[in-house]
Amino acid sequence: MNSPTFTHVKCGDCPIRHRAVCARCNADELEELDAIKYYRTYEAGQTVIWAGDPMNFVGSVVSGIATLTQTMEDGRTQMVGLLLPSDFVGRPGRDGAAYNVVATSDIVMCCFRKKPFEEVMARTPHIAHRLLEMTLDELDAAREWMLVLGRKTAREKIASLLAIIARRDASLSQGGPQAAMIFDLPLTREAMADYLGLTLETVSRQMSALKRDGVIQLQGKRHVTIPDMVRLMDEAGDDSDGGMLM
């Protein structure tokens, strides 16, 4: 997870070139973005932005994982988004940050000062359209998560989270269609709890239960094997087809 120096990467060579907000841009448009972008790195555990603080940039996660969280005065916190490479941070046209952004691993971000980015976006429909598309996807993810938070049991919540991570990893690593899925959890038990609206003790208990019941296998605390994806989807309470067509 060592971050290569991203100080001089050309947009054309960027690893998230085809998924980020710039995905639809042509060479000229990329040139424009290239001219105003800059990289920033954050270490694991570091807070990128505090909710409510003024925010003078927007940007994309290039590598690593970050979380979007909301907190109540008494400390209860809820994760409202998981930021993976290519995900966009910040909202054009708003000054303050709405959520805390915290680096879960070391991360590299491709940033734009907000004003110049807004200007480029205003005259570049390719960017605006891509941002709309990404925002609609995030809205869908948020709504799917509302069902998880509102109506699923603790066991189903854990299974749902594992299924989502497994499927994401599968779509990246392009493994065989039905191969047993293996991945490392990018989240601590506490982060999982904040994602799922549970306590970390309950997360731990349900992980143990799923292991005991053979739904998952654990090597160490974080390395997970899913012997039967259909079984896991079943435990998540999801219709077991939906995931097959990707």
Count of residues interacting with DNA (CB under 7 A): 20
Q: Which of 135, 113, 109 is nearest to 46 (CA)?
A: 109
Q: Side-chain half-sphere of 106: how many Cα atoms within 13 Å? A: 7
204 near DNA, rule: CB under 7 A? yes
213 near DNA, rule: CB under 7 A? no
Residues 6+ apart with CB under 8 A from 176: none
For 88, the enclosing helix (H) or strand (E) is strand 88-89
Smallest distance, DNA to C-beta of residue 103, A: 13
The DSSP 8-state label assigned to residue 152 in this structure reads -
110 near a copy of itself, rule: CB under 8 A? no
53 near a copy of itself, rule: CB under 8 A? no
CB 108 within 8 A of CB 41: yes
Residue 221 binding target from DNA, a copy of itself, none, CB below 5 to 8 Å by type: DNA
Helix, coil or strand: residue 129 = helix
Helix, coil or strand: residue 179 = coil
Smallest distance, a copy of itself to C-beta of residue 243, A: 15
Nearer to DNA by Cβ, of 115 and 211: the residue is 211
Binding segment (CB under 8 A) for a copy of itself, from list 31-39, 53-61, 76-84, 181-189? 76-84
Contacts with DNA by CB under 7 A lie at 153-155, 188-190, 197-205, 207-208, 218, 221-222
